[in-house]
A and B are shown apart, each in its own frame.
Chain A
Amino acid sequence: MTTIRTIAVGFDGSPDSEVALVWALDLAGPLGARVVAVHARGLLSRLEGWNSREMESIVARLAHEHGVADGDASVRVEEGDACSVLVRCSQAPVNADVLVVGSRGEGKHPGLLLGSTSLELAQRAEVALVIVPGERDAASV
């Protein structure tokens, strides 16, 4: 049986990624697992004056609200496209047992197959993958 110690969740600040983060935190609490919110930095992000502090505060607030200890929720920022960065999370140093993503990231066109992180991850992930429906997806079911 697989023991879930580390959950890596794709987090780009979009509403769907926040839904995915909350789902991961709710899973982590009872298991005593740690959650790593992974943010992939693309080429343009270095031109946008982006910093990780806002992201860290969101993760810390949500972790607190969902009963996950501060030390068990963290933010990891890596250069690369979202899919490749998340695939790498199943290896050291993150060693994720599960990957969690929202159904749509920021800047994606709904229904567009090209560039769809969740669909590409479904093909490339080396560990279990959970795709959490966003609020619109859930409402439309």
Chain B
Amino acid sequence: MLIVNELTENAAHEDPGHPERPERVGAVAAGIGSLHLGGDVVNVAPYRATRTELVRVHDGTYLDELGAYCYAGGGDLDEDTYATYDSWAIAQFAAGAGLAVVNEMTHRGEGVGFVAVRPPGHHAQRDRAMGFCLLNNVAVSAAALADRGERVLIVDWDVHHGNGTQSMFWNDPRVLYVSTHQWPLFPGTGVAQEVGGLDAVNRTINIPVPPGSTGDTLVRALDEVAAPVIDEFDPTWVLVSAGYDAHRADPMGDLLLTSGDFARLARRVREVVPAPGRLALFLEGGYNLEALRTSVAATLGTLLDAPFDAAPPSSGGAGEDVATRVREQRRVALELARAARTSGEDA
């Protein structure tokens, strides 16, 4: 069963010519439609995330400022990120859509959740918009789950590092953040040595891969670097920052993934979901509409055991040594972090 928010393009949040555009949601809808799920789809009405729900991860001052800026007419927030008069309300509904999907899944105790909203969220930081993102949708849901006592794994396979999500949970042992991303690339964060704050050592796993990397590199690194930590963390919920700009046809990155690679990544994620109704994916990037359509279909087709068409998974690209290199860099960083924590406790 697919539990998905009511898909709306939110055309009132648009900057003509900008790649983060309303048609992206249409591409997602087409991808879901291609699976012919029939009555196996539950549409969940989003609601406007409340201030209480948002301040778990965002500063109240930022929320006030963003709202006021939008109601004053909006404009460019930085060289990448825009807001319109309607963006504040749309962003609140985007964050609320995630909460609504998670609540519905909790109530049903089954299904796979997909939150297809825009603007995306994983670059949004506690106190600022960034990288097309206004509110951090996946983080709002993760924080809500963590406050209910859940141990939340966030897997972020967007081509860009989710710097906002990482920073929000940097020192929070209730959340394990795992990111595969191209490096170097915007936003410039996400090196392997970032392993979490002193209260959450080993709760951040970054797997930066070089341009030209193929799907096999990401999967191998997830298996060799992330899987043991995930096993130990033993998540009770899994959220995915599902960006599709690592696809080879996407203009925003230089990785060489195919739609078939997203099926492969989805299989890996499914293996660590602890129980039915405990996996929800959040749309992040993905700017080539055809790649987005086919990759969403491959992801959800895999998770729902529905037939789908996908290109063969990619292999043989750059970054053969990524898993080894990341493991070694993390080993050193973890030793330093644990020593720092011990010396802090002794002081």
List residues of A whose CB falls within 8 A of some B CB: 12, 41-47, 78-82, 84-85, 88, 105-109, 112-115, 120
Contact = CB atoms under 8 A, between A and B. Distances in A.
Most chain A C-beta atoms within 10 Å of own C-beta, residue among B77, B79, B188, B251? B79
Interface stretch (B85-93, B123-131, B139-147, B269-277): B123-131
Contact of B188 (A12, A80, A105, A120): A80
Contact of B185 (A79, A88, A107, A112): A79
Given A43-B160, A81-B187, A106-B79, 5 more contacts: A43-B80, A79-B188, A80-B186, A80-B188, A114-B128
Nearest to B75: A109
Contacts of B185: 79
B80 A114 contact: no
A43 B186 contact: yes
Interface in B45-79: 62, 65-66, 69, 75-79
* 8 A-B pairs with least C-beta separation: A80-B188, A115-B78, A43-B80, A42-B80, A42-B79, A115-B77, A107-B79, A79-B186
Nearest to A113: B65
Interface of B: 18-19, 62, 65-66, 69, 75-81, 128-132, 160, 163, 184-189, 251-252
A42 B76 contact: no
Given A44-B80, A46-B252, A80 B65 contact: no
B188 A46 contact: no
A88 B190 CA distance: 13
A54 B251 CA distance: 23
Given A108-B76, A109-B75, A88 B188 contact: yes
Contact of B252 (A43, A78, A108, A120): A43
A84 B187 contact: yes
A124 to B, nearest CB: 11
Contact of B187 (A44, A79, A108, A115): A79
A120 to B, nearest CB: 7
B69 A114 contact: yes
B76 A80 contact: no
Contacts of A113: 65
A44 B75 CA distance: 16
A36 B109 CA distance: 56
Secondary structure at the B interface, as helix, strand, loop or mixed, is loop
A88 to B, nearest CB: 7
A47 to B, nearest CB: 6
A112 B65 CA distance: 10
Contact of B77 (A43, A79, A114): A114
A80 B77 contact: no
9 contacts: A12-B79, A42-B131, A79-B185, A80-B189, A82-B78, A107-B76, A112-B75, A112-B77, A115-B76
Given A47-B19, A81-B130, A42 B184 contact: no
Contacts of A41: 186
A132 B174 CA distance: 43
A114 B188 contact: no
Task: Tell which of A46, A80, A82 has the most Cβ of chain B within 10 Å.
Answer: A80
Contacts of A47: 19, 251-252
A115 B82 CA distance: 11
B78 A42 contact: yes
Nearest to A45: B79
Contact of B129 (A43, A79, A115): A115
A46 B160 CA distance: 13
Contacts of A43: 80, 131-132, 160, 186, 252
Nearest to A123: B127
Nearest to B69: A114
Contact of A114 (B129, B160, B187): B129
Contacts of A107: 76, 78-79
Contacts of B80: 42-44
B48 to A, nearest CB: 21
Nearest to A109: B75
A41 B131 CA distance: 11
Given A42-B186, A81-B130, A114-B128, A109 B252 contact: no
